[in-house]
Amino acid sequence: MTDPAAGLRPATPEEWPAFSRAMLHVFGEDASGPFVESVPEHAELDRSLGLWDGERVVATAGIYSRELTVPGAVVPCAGVTWVTVSPTHRRRGVLRAIMRRQLTELHEQGREAVAALWASEASIYGRFGYAPATWRGNLSGATQRLRLRPGVDAGAGRVDLVPVEEYRAAAVALYDRVRRFVPGNLARGDVWWDRALRDEPAQRHGATERRYLLHTDPDGTVSGYAAYRVKDAWTDGGEPDGTLTVEEVRATGTPAYAALWQFLFAIDLVRTVKVPMASDDDPLRHLLADPRALHARPLDALWVRLVDVGRALAARRYTAPINLVLEVRDRSCPWNDGRWALTAGPSGGFCARTDSDPDLVVDVEALAAAYLGGTSLATLQAAGRVTEVSPGAVTQAATSFRWPVSPWCPDEF
């Protein structure tokens, strides 16, 4: 196999079982069940890539057509997924061929100016221009210390355990309302809600089935929801030592949010609460009486790549006026490499190529890290990823790119 790029092509529905088994084998997952037997609803085989060595699938990749919230706007986003290379075909340029093919096709098709993925290994995707743009808090705490601050307004609403059908009917509309204000959130159509609510026993790891809460205001309006599981355990002395894993909590205001957490902290027989997918800047941390009760171990979450720098920078909003020339270094996408004049502010912006002298020099990976407003360009300068040419340019850019709401992505794909 001398040229892997020449052999890449989309998989057909008939080839899906072999394609998916090859992918799951590399990820170390069970290569059986409904996912393998038939093409899932959320799969887009026309956007897949596979590499065959004879009858054997030796590399896979795919793209989901998603919608991503960015500062002040929502944009189409290519959700890169299924990326694997068989151990028998490593170090032959296969992954590089896949990444280049995806980026080139995205650029030529013009559908999405931004791509994103969840990285199985953090050392892989930086060389292709991706960077972590959101972080998950990976929160945990002991229930005996998890108490809300005195005076926190939990409102006059009620929290109820509900069946999944009732939960979904209310959560869909509420999620679609709140996700538009949080950079990094993804739209969830029906197939993505189907996937989010799937609850296979094999995926519970000894915990209960997923349980669902709705918070309802006195006027009957649903203003919050939560999903969680409990895993029971007992100490040698016969004391309860259960673990509560909270998968998602969303609300339209502080009272509903506080009331949901108040309910969760009081669940019987639980001694530890874990919130692996929470934002690393979750407001829960500021609702607690004991600020040390909740421990965070932040992990990278959504990695972002600017497929087309000009379109991507013009699509988002900025907290303050910015008028700078950015010299972007992009080894993988020559159409991005060069100087870009960015003139923008809170109401929108414009970004186009220019021959003017640069104010900042930045590699595309660092620009991706700052794109959702969570990573400061000043921090990236301190790390040697941004070079200031015009005095004050880093301060202006860092101020304008930052966003009041921390970026967060609770949806793995």
Residue-by-residue DSSP string for 346-378: TTEEEEEE--SPPSEEEEHHHHHHHHTS-S-HH
Place of tokens 């502010």: 345
- The answer to whether the annotation marks 15 as part of a ligand binding site is no
d(CA 276, CA 273): 10
Has 83 been labeled as part of a binding site?
yes
What is the Cα–Cα distance from 236 to 290, expressed in whole angstroms?
29
Is 285 assigned a ligand-binding role in the annotation? no
Report the candidate in 183, 196, 49 with the shortest Cα–Cα distance to residue 116.
Answer: 183
The answer to whether 298 and 136 have CB atoms below 8 angstroms apart is yes
Alpha-carbon distance of 295 to 301, in angstroms, equals 18
- On whether 152 is known to bind a ligand per the annotation, the reply is no
Residue 172 marked in a binding site: no
Q: Is 26 annotated as a binding residue?
A: no
For the chain, the 3-state helix, strand and coil shares in percent, each to the nearest 5, are: 30, 30, 40
d(CA 68, CA 203): 27
Please report where in the chains the tokens 């038939």 appear, as a residue.
38
How far CA 94 is from CA of 51, 60, 333, in Å, comes to 9, 10, 17
Check whether 151 is labelled as a binding-site residue.
Answer: no
Q: Any alpha helices (H) in 56-161, and if so which ranges?
A: 94-109
* Residue partners of 98: CB distance under 8 A and separation at least 6: 8, 49, 51, 59, 61, 83, 85
Q: Which of 327, 322, 321 is nearest to 339 (CA)?
A: 327
Amino acid at residue number 170: A
Residue 324's Cβ-count burial label (10 Å; 0-12, 13-18, 19+) is buried
Q: Which residues pair with 131 in a beta bridge?
A: 304
* Range 125-128, long-range pairs (CB < 8 A, 24+ positions): 125/303, 125/305, 126/365, 127/331, 128/96, 128/99, 128/103, 128/305, 128/332
- Tell whether residue 121 is among the known ligand binding residues: yes
Is 362 annotated to bind ligand? Answer: no
Say whether 21 counts as a known binding-site residue. Answer: no
- Residues recognised as catalytic: 125, 413
Residue 188 known to bind ligand:
no
From the number of C-beta atoms within 10 Å of its C-beta (0-12, 13-18, 19+), residue 4 rates as buried
Residues at the annotated binding site?
A: 83-85, 91-96, 120-121
Binding site feature residues for acetyl-CoA:
83-85, 91-96, 120-121
